[in-house]
Amino acid sequence: MTHLSWIFVAVGLVLLFFGGEALVRGAVSMARRLGVSPLVISLSVVALGTSAPEMVVALDSALDGHTDVAIGNVVGSNIANTLLILGVAGLIAPIVCNISTVRRDGVAVALTSLVFVALAWVGELRAWSGAVLLVLLTAYLGLSYWRDRRDAKALREHAEEVEEIGGRPLTLTRSLLLVVVGLVLLALGADLLVEGAVDIARHFGVSETVIGLTLVAFGTSLPELATCAIAAYHRHADVALGNILGSNMFNILGIMGVVTLITPVPVPAQIMDFDVWFMLGISILVLPLMITGGRLNRPESAGLIALYLAYLWAQFHGVQELFDLIPA
């Protein structure tokens, strides 16, 4: 390994960040210019755009034969979203939660994680697994549209999300140019990130699974981190919560659905033994935090960040060593 590998990772992360931002801004602006409702934009365009880095990296790594990086990226991104990004947003501004939304979408994320664990149990995700995930995604989006289209509060929240992410609408030409530039940057960034990360893993004797769960997952979650931090700063923390829940749903159902339709993805033993269960556990853990009192306060948010740091430590030092540090 040379310093070039670290440069590849750094440049790849930068390209992914700006590529994701350009794609989301351009796609949202284009949809608004074409008269698409904020509800549809929020449920589809925003969800797809904010998860675009994970999608491109997962596809790039899987097609290059690094399937451990692909599945690690998705599982690790969901863990980072739930613990790190939600924690950061809650530190900036306590998140006042719509309890009915948390019960509905939060439970949906937990159930989606459970379905993913069940599919991964057989040891390999194949085309039929991808088809199941994509059918569930389609059903979820359809149900969400049917549910929210007559809900004034939900429509207002979707409109706020689109306004927060899209900003001032651009012309169709500029919007299309942003989309194209975003896709190009995402493709280049994904290739550089995966190549550099795999080389670093080999040099340090770390598995590609661990690199996917940590470095790659953190890098592809940067757009969500930026979006949620800005939303929380502007006191739209409920938008941040919606972004995180929607991203977690799309990561599992959309990204893994598409990737496994294209190529089989073996499930590494480490992910099956610990990480998918950890992802499922924290998906359930945050529900009472948000439902009790209807808000996620700063101490709870700090606890989520601490748990994420402990998870990262365990990835490089071993889960058992982490448990040994906990007083009996």
**pTM of the complete model:** 0.86
What is the mean pLDDT for each group of 10 consecutive residues in the chain (328 residues)? 82 87 79 66 68 86 91 94 90 77 81 94 92 93 76 64 64 84 88 89 86 89 78 70 82 93 92 94 83 74 93 79 52
**Owner of token pair 């942003």:** 178
Dist. CA 227–CA 321, nearest whole Å: 35
- Residue 146: how many CB atoms within 10 A of its CB? 9
- pLDDT for the residue 166: 58
pLDDT computed for residue 307 by the predictor: 94
Rounded distance between C-alpha atoms, residue 304 and residue 90, angstroms: 10
The pLDDT, as a whole number, for residue 92 is: 87
Q: Which residues of 74-90 are buried (b: 16+ CB within 10 A; e: fewer)?
A: bbbbbbbbbbbbbbbbb
Q: What is the predicted pLDDT for the residue at 316?
A: 82
Residue 321 is predicted with a pLDDT of: 55
| Close Cβ partners of 122 (under 8 Å, ≥ 6 residues apart) | none
As assigned by CATH, the class of the 3-319 domain is mainly alpha
Q: Where are the domains of the chain?
A: 3-319
80/61 Cα distance (integer angstroms): 19
